[in-house]
Chains A and B, each alone.
Chain A
């Protein structure tokens, strides 16, 4: 499989007044196209920072990040915006749906980016929520909202799906459903899925597991026979 993402000696430092905090340092990593990658690590390890840099939500302080052949770290704000709109689908821990739009409209919102997306109903159908198309986020459960969030992310057919603790706010059964959908995106639809979690169990469903600790990648493990989400002993 071709390399989709490459991190070369990437570092990220946050500054708040006179206080500096090194969230990431010297990160080297490659992610192949179509892989399901799980980034594991304890709280404060730098997982979310890594994900933010991957998705162009934040800028690295040092090092280089490549997406396919393009260097993300050389992109300006406008180019990063375009990158996010075309190539990245983001799934947040707390769903981040627009509360004043229905499920259908939250997915259809991607049309407003000026890009061609799949039929929002088809996207909703893929996450099993076509019948909830007219419901507002406040009328749905957490799991349903997260599935809408996934539908929103996949509707624009991105090459990369980024998931920040996608099951963090969900119960076990609902979390398994969400995990299964993400797995399908990788297996069936050949999307590259990068998932950040602190739940070690999720390592079993991934193709590759990246262990992060104290702001750096401490290990990368290839999983020979990933489990199905529903086979997890959760």
Chain B
């Protein structure tokens, strides 16, 4: 770039610092948001993908009461299967670490979901000792070579630590129902060779499968998904085992958790930053159009002096390129290193992956390039519009626009309007572009506020919805596999509780089928459901409630017949859908116990909900109780699991307010600058400053009113989009009060009125002579 033109550019930027600073801030904040959410999402997915690739994460896992070597031989004869290996696990206590719980996994080989060795020696078949979870080892000071005293089902034994490892099946896990949330320093997993099994006969209840033609991990292609489904069908055909349950790679809990978390980021990336970016681009275009118009004489002079159109265009295009480029780049870096890194710290807390490396996706640099190109293009166009004229024409001042308010001037109303209203209507009409930009700016700001405040309300209502309306029980008692119906019944009677059975279920309608959850509720009012309108949905005596999201996927509705099968059973049930329900934590079908039993199902309650106090000690004293959770613990876990999302929402709201303020401020200044001549004229004619400021404020209020109301529907679309996609296994209650509407409109007005009040103070100091000269 030319040296002196470059100096001119930087001085012009300095002289219009407020406008360019606002563009800079807008671009910075937009990219800050995008980069934060995107880097968090990208890092989540990429770290998990790298980890899964490094350890050859399973493509399928099979569960049954027991798998023999014959079963493995049958499995590997299926051409799609590359490898299959058996596993089983026991829960014990680590006597040497405060009796903390340990999940002992016994393996025969280490080719699928292999141990990612961080310290010590890798797994060797038939070797004595164990390989322990690295996270727990770090938190509890366990090193390679230590001897750990373990007690499992009444048997005590000691094992040396051979290695500190990570294992992908345990990427995200809760050892049992006595914990409401992950707490990796309080429990652990370890791996031992099958020969170390502490009891007589080992029964392998799990088989991990590696398929021939599936290499992708987190980024599964449609072809991969089809190959996995095909292999699953072949296994079901080829292996005759009772109670066989097959879980696909993308249905594994750790896998799903990562996908769900990244989906939230993905939604944030898709919803908010585009709006911010749109506002930034809008601001840049408006500012640059104004600057080019203001520099008409300079542009004409440059052309007259012999500067080529290309040189002048490049010179003016550089303004937006430099400012939007610098703002976007700095925003992207700050987002990545500050907020993105902070969000990603959750990955370290919630997941046991040893690979923790932040990454930025290609989206961020592409969007920066997009912003720069787009603003540059509009700059180029507004410059080009002038430069097609001859130098002599550019040097002449722009012809004044015809001052007329349109058809309204011909109506009787016109004469009844005050001078201020007429002046404003004419000003709006002859500066349509500016007015539309003003309305668009306020509307986008208002939609951001509506979306943000609405989402915040949905989040805050979710806790009440779950723990006050749907799950009001004070205690949740989870029963272990050792419990049976009679024990559950005894507990339910003793504590006056409601028994509920949960199971995985494959629901089908026509050619569509998917794994969901089955809930069978006994009589009681402690486990409730709600329909789409927010009213309680009664569990029918005969018939099923189907969750709204499942209904959408299956293309089913009330009155339709659906079929379902519990994976460990061969029997397929058919049932009529009597209603749709929404649930914060599961999707699937709900049956009453009586209905389930009439269909021929066996009621096996796994959870009892009660308002009576259940001693926490049951977790240790009662073998058939796996966990006792008080509502407070659940609420605490709920809050903790939502901390990350809440943080994102709060930051988004804060940035939305700043972006809204900056947009309104910038638009206000530009608008005022265009009116300076008119304002000076009014002042010369003797209008009092106060009166002029009120005229300006009236127009501002009019534009803000239209803009803020226009933004509300856009904000509502944002809320429904985000809330619908945020969690595939749960619903959010979208029943907004008036509060977010009022907040959105109120804040739009506050910002707008305040900005106008600040800007219109310039009326006090306006230089009438200079303004009326109209010279640069």
Contact = CB atoms under 8 A, between A and B. Distances in A.
Interface of A: 48-49, 52, 55, 57-59, 77-78, 81-86, 88, 90, 92, 94, 96, 98-101, 105, 108-113, 152
Contact of B306 (A52, A59, A81): A81
Contacts of B7: 100-101, 105
B304 A109 contact: no
Given A81-B308, A108-B4, 7 more contacts: A52-B390, A57-B390, A92-B301, A92-B304, A101-B4, A112-B3, A113-B306
A96 to B, nearest CB: 4
Nearest to A100: B11
B391 interface: yes
Interface residues of B, number: 29
Contacts of B302: 98
B306 A88 contact: yes
Contact of A58 (B306, B308, B390): B390
Contacts of B621: none
B8 A81 contact: no
B4 A100 contact: no
Nearest to A110: B305
Contacts of B776: 99
A98 B776 CA distance: 10
A96 B297 contact: yes
A90 B4 contact: no
A101 B8 contact: yes
B278 to A, nearest CB: 31
B303 interface: yes
A152 B301 CA distance: 12
A157 to B, nearest CB: 13
Contact of B3 (A77, A99, A111): A111
A84 B390 CA distance: 13
Given A96-B297, A100-B15, A105-B7, A113 B305 contact: yes
B233 interface: no
16 contacts: A57-B304, A57-B390, A57-B391, A57-B392, A58-B391, A78-B309, A81-B307, A81-B308, A84-B304, A96-B395, A98-B301, A101-B4, A101-B7, A101-B11, A112-B4, A112-B311
B301 A58 contact: no
Nearest to A51: B392
A148 to B, nearest CB: 13
Contacts of A110: 305
B5 interface: yes
B301 A84 contact: no
B301 A96 contact: yes
Contacts of B393: 58
Residue of B3, B11, B392 with most chain A CB atoms under a 10 A cut-off: B392
Nearest to A56: B391
B775 interface: yes
A55 B390 contact: no
A48 B390 CA distance: 14
B298 interface: yes
Interface string B285-305: 000000000000110111111
Contacts of B308: 78, 81-82
A152 B307 CA distance: 14
Nearest to A48: B392
Given A58-B391, A81-B308, A82-B306, A109 B5 contact: yes
Contacts of B2: 111-112
Contact of A85 (B5, B305, B309, B775): B305
B1 to A, nearest CB: 9
B126 interface: no
Interface string B264-298: 00000000000000000000000000000000011
Given A57-B390, A98-B298, A84 B4 contact: no
Nearest to B393: A58
Interface in B1-32: 2-5, 7-8, 11-12, 15
Which 7 pairs, one residue from A and one from B, show the smallest C-beta to C-beta distance?
A85-B306, A112-B2, A100-B11, A84-B306, A52-B392, A57-B391, A96-B301
Contacts of B775: 94
Most buried by A among B300, B306, B309, B390: B306
B305 A84 contact: yes
Interface string B456-476: 000000000000000000000
Nearest to A52: B392
A111 B392 contact: no
Contacts of A78: 308-309
